[in-house]
Amino acid sequence: MTQELSASARRVQEALQSLGMDLQVVELPDSTRSAVEAAQAVGCQVGQIVKSLVFKGKRSQRPILAAVSGANRVDERRLEALIGEPLGKADADFVREQTGFAIGGVPPVGHIQKLETIIDEDLFQYQEIWAAAGTPHAVFRLTPDELAKMTGGVVAAIKQI
């Protein structure tokens, strides 16, 4: 039985379909707004949650997406070295303008433009991971390889140690 998805979650489901990925967005009664909440809601480890964090190139003003294990914090210096310019924090308005989604539900794909993406290598220690799907109640399950394929992202060591 298919429950009807909210508009933002449906956009993510459609993006997955158009990328040729056979993955199912689910909307849960419990909040998935943070990585900890999402892990509780789906019953997995926090590290298996993909945080989709938006940064802003200080020179180019372009958005950069970091897909990070929920257990980790990003080392911005490492990210800057990979991107090749200094990065600033994206505020909530910038995130919405550049991705089409509000913080708490930003997915790794389905944005209003293609975002250059860096993927935390630590996600590859898991067979399956979960990412946000447009709202603070929507997620989808995928593999790290699927994440790499759908984003075209570079896999790198980007966590703070």
Question: Which residues are within 8 A (CB) of 8 and not within 5 positions of it... i.e. 6 or more apart?
Answer: 101, 105, 134, 135, 138
Q: Say if CB 118 and CB 83 are below 8 A apart.
A: yes
Task: Decide: is 143 part of the binding site for ligand 5CA (CB under 6 A).
Answer: no
Stretch that binds ligand 5CA, among 7-15, 22-30, 131-139, 149-157 (CB under 6 A): 131-139
Task: Decide: is 52 part of the binding site for ligand 5CA (CB under 6 A).
Answer: yes
Return the bridge partners of 120, or none.
156
Size of interface with ligand 5CA, in residues (CB under 6 A): 20
Task: Decide: is 105 part of the binding site for ligand 5CA (CB under 6 A).
Answer: yes
Stretch that binds ligand 5CA, among 11-19, 55-63, 111-119, 128-136 (CB under 6 A): 128-136
Question: Where do contacts with ligand 5CA occur on this chain (CB under 6 A)?
Answer: 32-35, 38, 49-53, 90-92, 103-106, 131-132, 136
